[in-house]
Structure 1
Amino acid sequence: MNDETEHQVRQDSDMEDDTITEVIDADAQTEAQQTDHDETEQGPLQAELDKVKQEKEEMHQRVLRIQAEFDNFKKRTQKEKEADLKYKSEDIVKDLLPVLDNFERALQVEVTDETKNFAEGITMVYRQLKDALSNHGVKEIESVGKPFDPTIHHAVMQEEDEEAEPESVIEELQKGYYLKDRVIRPAMVKVNK
């Protein structure tokens, strides 16, 4: 190859390099313009997208709070139902306690030969009533000799008794009763000073 041909090849190669550089520069400018254009268009779109994401997150949190409130409501309702079932007989038991008291008073009467059969009948009915109440969770509050407890005892009298412990129940004037674990009638008692 001669010098002139070599020189021509170099010039062609330089021109190709310049053309390639120009094409690359043009591509880069076009790409930069496209990116600027996309960013300009994406600015409002991105803001809208961010707003929608925030609203979605707020709604999600709201749904979680509502779900938690509903779960708490269900638990509270279930506990109320259980309590209602547990103490459903409370009203009727309260109505029957004076009847039980009257049976006990009737059984304290002196029995004669003439009233023996009648007293036995009353005793049987009294036992049946006590058993029926017991089957529904009614039990007597033990009082005599126990320390006075204002949650289960109602003090109506005080008396000094040196043989008994201070602040203890020395006499039961009216029986108290539990319904399961709830006091439905406190015992009326005489308390030692």
Structure 2
Amino acid sequence: MADKENKKNKKKAQEPQEEPQEQPEATEAPDQSDPVQELQEKLDAQHEAHLRLAAEYDNFRKRTQKEKEASYANGKADTIGKLLPIYDNLERALNQPTEDAAYKKGVEMTMAELEKIFQGLGVSAYGQAGDAFDPNLHNAVMHTQDESQGENVITQVFQKGFRMGERVIRFAMVQVAN
């Protein structure tokens, strides 16, 4: 019997022995993680939050700058709009006949100063007889049939229009032919 056991032992020795497979050690348990990885994730999250905050601030700064510019332009246009009746009165005074040369000269000088101020602010008057009618610039208050004039031509200006750049401050009141 000893021979049989020796043969069995030899067979077992000849057979390649299976080495126990090494189980990979769990480096990360569900409740434990690598502190370096944790800190890196926190750093990345903080960096992303910082970038978002910086972009939000930049957008806020640009938006407030645009609002400030628009507010300034609106205030300027409103102020000029309130000065336009003075311009109209000076223009009517210049068109009235008068014997007093000093009075006329004073009104002319006042009108010249007001026009100079308007020019400095980028305000220009528009609307003359013979111009083409543009509904974006003119307010047609009368219509006339005149074969000597072309289609949609301004025949008379009742009140000049004013604009600051491309912005219309006051539409010109006009009479349009045909």
2:28 matches 1:42? yes
1:171 Cα deviation (Å)?
1.1
Residue segments in structure 2 that go unaligned for 5+ positions in a row: 1-12
Match 1:127 to one of 102, 109, 112: 112
Alpha-carbon distance in 2 for matches of 1:64, 1:88: 36
Alpha-carbon distance in 2 for matches of 1:183, 1:111: 34
Residue segments in structure 1 that go unaligned for 5+ positions in a row: 1-17
Secondary structure in 2 matching 1:191: strand
CA displacement 1:137-183 (0-9 Å, x = unmatched): 11102342222111111111111111211112111110110123311
Between Structure 1 and Structure 2, how many residues are aligned? 163
Aligned-residue CA RMSD (Å): 3.3
CA displacement 1:49-93 (0-9 Å, x = unmatched): 988877776665554444333322221211222233445422221
Alpha-carbon distance in 2 for matches of 1:146, 1:50: 75
2:135 matches 1:150? yes
Percent identity over the alignment is 34
CA displacement 1:26-47 (0-9 Å, x = unmatched): xx75x825x3xx31x5241459
Contact 1:140/1:175, CA 8 A, preserved across alignment: yes
Task: Give the TM-score normalised by the residue count of structure 1.
Answer: 0.69
Task: Give the TM-score normalised by the residue count of structure 2.
Answer: 0.74
**Which residue number in structure 1 is paired with residue 146 of structure 2?**
161
Match 1:109 to one of 74, 87, 96: 96
Alpha-carbon distance in 2 for matches of 1:147, 1:58: 62
Secondary structure in 2 matching 1:140: strand
The structure whose Rg is larger is 1
Alpha-carbon distance in 2 for matches of 1:174, 1:152: 12
Match 1:32 to one of 7, 10, 22: 22
